[in-house]
Amino acid sequence: MESKHDPKATEYYKKSSLNMNKPKYVTNMPHQHALILVGYETVYGVHMTQYHHEEHKYQMILELDLPDHVKTRYQEIRKTWPEMPIILCNDIGDPLMVPDLGGGTCRNFDANFFVGLFPLDLLKPEEEESMHFFPWSADIMKPVMDEMFKVIVKRVVLFRPFNHQELLPEYANYIIWGEGSEAHMTHWQTAHRTSDKYNAPAYGPDYDHIMSLKYAPDWVNPSLLRAGITVSVPSIRLRVPGKKRKVEIPSTRPFHYNKKFEVLYRGIGQPYEVKAGHTFVFGPQVSTSPAVMPVPDPSDPKNENPELTLFMAPAPKEYWAEQRLTTNVKDETNDD
């Protein structure tokens, strides 16, 4: 795919590997990206990260302006399925780089949105193995709107490229942001390179977590909340005491709906209380490199729980592509 913003990028990209220590030219391949939509009155898109793909090594939160009829439909779906992930994707014909959005080069793009995640156990083997597999393509999922629409980026709340030298903190950090009575949280991720120089690069483990709060905390100045604040969560320990490199990421959603928990503003001082709303995405499966994915303990009864790798509600069948409704793709590839 040729970049609309940098005509040299495609040729340089082909000649260099961004996993090498010094690529000839630092760029990203223009691509499709998935933004999890949160908020009701004020709508935000939260970028889904992948530590092992150069195109997706960014945390980003955007405040978005949707056309009126699109926002109305989005709000209807949010009311019907409060915990359903609603995913905004730029059109395959309008590829872009995440820095185009974070840096203000791109202020609008063509997009559609999707409801939920197609069941991963029904994917074709070649889809599961593809490095650039995109689960919201037209042959897998049906978009909500009949036609593409124009999304306007009103402002950038957060744009953060990953640095592979960062380590997980002792306790989990989050960013809280919002507007008016609405507030949201997402995990402040790291993408530490775990592998040594003699092995293929692997990053993590860590996890993605995108959620809303039940209501905006009354202990935050509205201007600070709009810009976003950082907090730590003492109840989520990520490093085992006395073992410098031992990491323990949570295996299930740490905050369930309507439950109160404590956070530390800037990671210090006395705790403040917040109340959990709905979680839309949780788990390490998308972000963490496959080579360092946490392996569940087989003796733990929780190992049957799909939240151990990814919590993301499945797409209702009405939003599956037609060909997925009529065929069990797993049966087609079975030799028996």
Percent of the chain with pLDDT strictly greater than 70: 85
Tokens standing for 230?
């950082």
Where would I find the beta strands (DSSP E) of 100-207? Answer: 108-115, 149-161, 171-179, 182-187
Cis previous bond, 23, omega within 30 = no
Distance CA(250)–CA(185), nearest Å, equals 16
Q: Rounded mean pLDDT of 47-74?
A: 96
Tokens standing for 200?
């293929």
In a domain, 253, yes or no: yes
Percent of the chain with pLDDT strictly greater than 90: 68
| Cβ-based neighbour number of residue 12 at 10 Å | 14
Q: Rounded mean pLDDT of 155-181?
A: 96
Distance set, CA 190 to CA 145, 208, 298, 311 (Å):
35, 10, 27, 19
Q: Give me the chain's average pLDDT, please.
A: 88
In this prediction, residue 6 has a pLDDT band, given cuts at 50, 70 and 90, of low
Which DSSP string do the residues of 55-111 spell out, in sequence order? GG-EEEEEEEE--HHHHHHHHHHHHH-TT--EEEEE-TTS-B-HHHHHTTS--EEEE
In this prediction, residue 333 has a pLDDT band, given cuts at 50, 70 and 90, of very low
In a domain, 76, yes or no: yes
Tokens standing for 17?
């590997």
Per-residue model confidence (pLDDT) at position 309: 80
Q: Based on the structure, what is the number of domains in the chain?
A: 1
- Contact between 90 and 148 under an 8 Å Cβ cutoff? The reply is no
Which of 69-83, 113-127, 254-268, 296-310 is predicted least confidently? Answer: 296-310
In a domain, 26, yes or no: no
In a domain, 289, yes or no: yes
- The 10s digit of each residue's pLDDT in 111-130 is 999 999 999 888 888 877 76
In this prediction, residue 34 has a pLDDT band, given cuts at 50, 70 and 90, of very high
Residue 310's domain comprises: 31-332
Q: Is the pLDDT of residue 267 over 80?
A: yes
Q: Is the pLDDT of residue 335 over 90?
A: no
In a domain, 18, yes or no: no
Q: Is the pLDDT of residue 296 over 80?
A: no
10-19, 237-246, 264-273, 305-314: which has the highest mean pLDDT? 264-273
Show Cβ contacts of residue 141 under 8 Å, excluding neighbours closer than 6 positions: 114, 118, 135, 315, 319, 320, 321
Q: Which helix (H) or strand (E) holds 230?
A: strand 229-237
Q: Rounded mean pLDDT of 96-122?
A: 95
Per-residue model confidence (pLDDT) at position 16: 53
In this prediction, residue 145 has a pLDDT band, given cuts at 50, 70 and 90, of very high
In a domain, 6, yes or no: no
Tokens standing for 313?
């509600």
In a domain, 321, yes or no: yes
Q: Is the pLDDT of residue 88 over 50?
A: yes
In a domain, 177, yes or no: yes
Q: Is the pLDDT of residue 331 over 60?
A: no
